[in-house]
Amino acid sequence: MVKEFVEYKELFIGGRWEIPTGQASIEVVSPATGEAIGRVPHATRDDVDKAVAMAREAFDVGPWPRLPLEERLAVIERFASALQQRIQQLASVISRENGSPITWSLASQAGAPALVCGLAVETARAYPFEHRRPGLRSDVIVRYEPVGVVAAVVPWNVPAFVSINKLAFALAAGCTVVLKPSPETPLDAYILAEIADEVGLPEGVLSVLPADREVSEYLVAHKGIDKVSFTGSVGAGKRIMEVAAANLTRVTLELGGKSAAIILEDADLDHAVSTIGRASWALNNGQACVALTRVLAPRSLYDEIARRLTDAANALVVGDPADPATQVGPLVSARQQQRVLDYIRIGCEEGATLLAGGGIPEDLERGCYVSPTLFGDVDNSMRIAQEEIFGPVVCLIPYEDDADALRIANESEYGLSGAVFTADTERGIEVARHVRTGTITVNGFSTEPTAPFGGYKNSGIGRELGDEGLRSYLEAKTIAIAG
């Protein structure tokens, strides 16, 4: 893994490398060591104004939205190819920024973005951007046109993947984009900017502006923005929706989760426990909105499942994210580490039984580590079962029958992901139909990139990926043919 300090002194504004208007910078700190690993400029409101003005001009009069579809898609395909060539670099940078284990970074953090670019191209190529259909009074032409200038605000947990989810589909639609990476993980966004520079995006089509929450709010409130696509916390999502409402700016919000894994009494327990381990503690160190953090166990099998999950948590290898043997790395920051430790304390105070973990690993006092933690005897009304912890903490909750399991699964403010484990696939599908969540997997854990992704309730508004993801960057226009 690359170890040197990385410093950028310019911002990528509208396809140009520009000196920032302010003097402030963002220092990037390794959560594994606490040492500074990089520095980037902190964008100002003036930088936002310039980026939005360039994006506005590029959309209103520039070539990008007016290019033949295949020409736009050819640029995205070049982007995908360049991403593929930089997988090792991108994975190393992200692991250093946020502590993601390198094996997971290679497969998902850096490996998936090129795949998503390809899917965006395939989706756009097959999409009915214009079609004619009969009406009651006359024929009509229905067109889908790009929504305009997009503010894409991305989180620190899977920064490149989320950036490309937004960027690839917005560009395929013909939009221009101002990308605002998280201040915890701006270095990978510079790699995306370098690729954009290489592949020949026209002037104004993409800007990358690292900044804090105050500048981010200024961006999403900007009158030059037509759509905000945000991934992050519920609190920030609500604020974005409030700010965007002043301009009736369209929003897509992909927010938090507290997903339930329902183990039915006929399930293969080896498979269920193994899958839950990968989709909770070991999924980006538990820092994933889709993580399976509530495990619902039939009371008749509760003790057996508790034992197996305890063994699974204790067997996980916690350590240096650069080590290929590591399964759980550090949390992104000391602040996040303390937040998770506070929730563990709350769980103990609420009366849950600590079955595994519960603190900082004894041999890893340096860095932002938390041991994979399992709580048993959890009541679904407890805070640890209702609030998103965003760390390697799992709650084990007993249930009486299918109806009780569904009640518990749905008694949540969230509805993003989930799973059902059973020997009877059709029964699993029927149970899945009644869980109010955006994505749910029978006998596994999957976020299928060709299908719509998003959440119910406080987990968000709108969808990304698939036809639905492309449609979120389009406006529908009707042309009535009267004569």
- For residues 311 and 307, what is the distance between their CA atoms, to the nearest angstrom? 6
* Residue closest to 128 by CA, chosen among 481, 470, 482: 470
Retrieve residue 156's tokens: 């620190």
- For residue 311, the tally of other CB atoms under 10 A from its CB is 14
Residue 393 per-residue DSSP state:
E
Identify residue 45 by its one-letter amino acid code: R
Retrieve residue 370's tokens: 């938390």
Q: What b-and-e string marks burial along 390-416, b requiring 16 or more CB atoms within 10 Å of the CB?
A: bbbbbbbbbbeebeebbebbeebebbb
Among the listed residues 117, 175, 289, 395, the single catalytic one is: 289
Among the listed residues 97, 117, 184, 254, the single catalytic one is: 254
- For residue 384, the tally of other CB atoms under 10 A from its CB is 24
**120 strand-pairing partners:** none
- For residues 147 and 473, what is the distance between their CA atoms, to the nearest angstrom? 5
254 is catalytic: yes
Q: Which segments of 331-434 does DSSP mark as H helices, in order?
A: 334-350, 383-386, 402-410, 425-433
- For residues 361 and 161, what is the distance between their CA atoms, to the nearest angstrom? 29
| Catalytic sites, residue numbers | 254, 289
